[in-house]
Structures are given as C-alpha cells and as structure tokens.
C-alpha cells in the first residue's frame, strides 16, 4: 500500500511541475516564483523541525544526540556538494551562479543548460529518497514531507525551464528534460523504498538527512534571494507568505496527529 502512495505522490508532483513550467511564459511568472519561494521557506523549516526531526528521534529510540549530529553532518555534506557545483540550483532565471555563462558562444550557452539540468536531475533523485523514507515511517509524515518538497520544487522547476530556454534549448526539448528530471524523483524514491524496507535501521538517519537538506535549502538557498528585495512592502509580503507556510504545515500537523 505504501509504495502506491510513493508512486502516486511522485507522479502527481511530476505532472504539477510539468504543467506549471509553462507559466514562465506569462509576465507574472517571476512574481509567482518569488511568492512560492517564500511559501517554500515556511513549509520546509516547519516540516523539518515539527515533523521530520521528531519522527527521526522517535524512530531512533529517542536517541536525540545521534539524530542531531546527523542533521549537522547533513548540512555540512550539502555545503560541500554546493562547493562542488552539484547541489546548488536557482529559483529564478537570473541566477548569480550562472552569471559567468553569458551568451558569448553557443558552447557556453549549451553548457549552462547542461549544468542546470544535471543539478536538477541529481536534486530530484535525492528528493525521491527523502520522500520514500518519510512514507516508510508513516503515510502522514510522507504526505507532509511530499507537500513541502513539492512547494520547494515548483519554483525550482520553473526557473530551470526558463534557464534551459535561455540557453538555446527548444521548448519541446525543455519539456522532455523536465519530464526526465521528474522521473529521477520516482527512481530515487523506488530505490530507497526497497533498500530501506530491508535496512529499516537506517530510516532515522535518512530522515535526519532529509531535515538537514530542508534546513540548508531554506536558509542557504532560498532566504538570500528574498533578502535582495528590501522594500517594506516586499518584506511584509515575504514574511506574510512565510508565516502562511508555517501555519499551513502546523495545521496539517495538528490535523494528522
């Protein structure tokens, strides 16, 4: 039964991502992405601290020391991966990370798109692992985790789609690459589901890594972009939407428990 939930969530997430990728052709797309980034900050942090870490500690027989240490190790791992140019990805079409890849030549343009796609592929594969590990604890945790991942991934996929088009990739090929990255989530979820089903003692530590990835993404990747908008009205809007994300997960948590 659980595996059907995993497959279903990955499938719905992929379809939603594919559908919303086309939104970037509208003038309001950048505003939508910024709002979704703010929402993702709230949901990711609340899911990590209110849902995943407590469940990880519970699954580890209340060994909070080891789980906290694994969260710390996870944050350092993701920092290292970012330094190696693998983990980092953008949540807007104008990303500083890709600033040195200007359109001076076709090779540089295509290379920029390739880097973005590889990073997106890897990131979605890891997301699949984290979603499956949450569902193996219980369906409620899996649904909350999947929701937070989806709200985070939607602006990611939209911006990736935009960068691919800007790098010279056709619209059709960009859609195909988007589908491929969504399949990576399903592959990661299925692999981890079957492996962790056999080696369940590792589930608490995979959950701790899930929490560390959410915390790191929210604080290191998403929040700095929000700080670039310094006007009072933008700040109030960001704080309001972040709070909405916190309240959303809090009420889902209260309802499910």
User: What is the DSSP track for the chain?
Assistant: -HHHHHHHHHHHHHHHHHHHHGGGGSTTHHHHHHHHHHHHHHHHHHIIIIIIHHHHHHHTTT-HHHHHHHHHHHHHHHHHHHHTTSS---SSSS-GGGTT--TTSHHHHHHHHHHHHHHHHHHHHHHHHHHHHHHHH-HHHHHHHHHHHHHHHHHHHHHHHHHHHHTT--HHHHHHHHHHHHHHHHHHHHHHHHHHHH-GGGHHHHHHHHHHHHHHIIIIIIHHHHHT--SHHHHHHHHHHHHHHHHHHHHHHHHH-
pLDDT of residue 85: 59
Mean pLDDT comparison of 104-113, 203-212, 219-228, highest-scoring range: 203-212
pLDDT band at 218 (very low <50, low <70, confident <90, very high): confident
- Please write the tens of the pLDDT for every residue from 106-143: 444 444 556 566 767 777 888 888 899 999 988 888 88
pLDDT of residue 71: 95
Closest CA to 162 of 9, 32, 11: 32
Distance from the Cα of residue 241 to its chain's centroid: 18
The model's pTM is 0.72
High-pLDDT (> 70) share of the chain, %: 75
- Please write the tens of the pLDDT for every residue from 13-59: 888 877 766 665 554 456 766 787 888 888 889 888 988 899 899 88
Token pair of 175 as six digits: 């859609």
First to last CA, the chain: 20
Residue 100, pLDDT > 70, answer: no
């Amino acid at each position: 039964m659980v595996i059907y939930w995993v497959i279903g969530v990955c499938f719905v997430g992929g379809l939603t991502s594919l559908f919303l990728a086309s939104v970037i052709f509208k003038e309001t797309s950048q505003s939508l992405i910024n709002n979704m980034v703010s929402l993702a900050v709230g949901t990711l942090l609340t899911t990590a601290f209110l849902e995943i870490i407590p469940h990880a500690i519970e699954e580890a027989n209340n060994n909070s020391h080891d789980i906290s240490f694994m969260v710390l190790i996870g944050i350092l791992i993701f920092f290292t991966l970012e330094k190696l140019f693998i983990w980092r990805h953008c949540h807007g079409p104008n990303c500083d990370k890709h600033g040195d890849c200007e359109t001076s030549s076709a090779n540089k343009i295509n290379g920029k798109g390739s880097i973005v796609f590889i990073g997106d592929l890897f990131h979605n594969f890891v997301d699949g692992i984290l979603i499956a590990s949450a569902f193996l604890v219980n369906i409620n945790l899996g649904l909350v985790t999947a929701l937070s991942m989806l709200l985070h991934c939607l602006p990611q996929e939209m911006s990736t789609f935009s960068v691919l088009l800007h790098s010279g990739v056709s619209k059709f090929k960009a859609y195909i690459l988007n589908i491929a990255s969504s399949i990576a989530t399903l592959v990661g979820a299925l692999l981890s589901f079957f492996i962790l089903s056999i080696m369940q003692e590792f589930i608490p530590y995979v959950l701790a890594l899930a929490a560390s990835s959410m915390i790191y993404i929210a604080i290191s990747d998403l929040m700095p972009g929000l700080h670039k908008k310094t006007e009072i009205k933008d700040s109030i809007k960001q704080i309001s939407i972040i709070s909405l994300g916190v309240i959303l997960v809090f009420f889902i948590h209260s309802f499910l428990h």
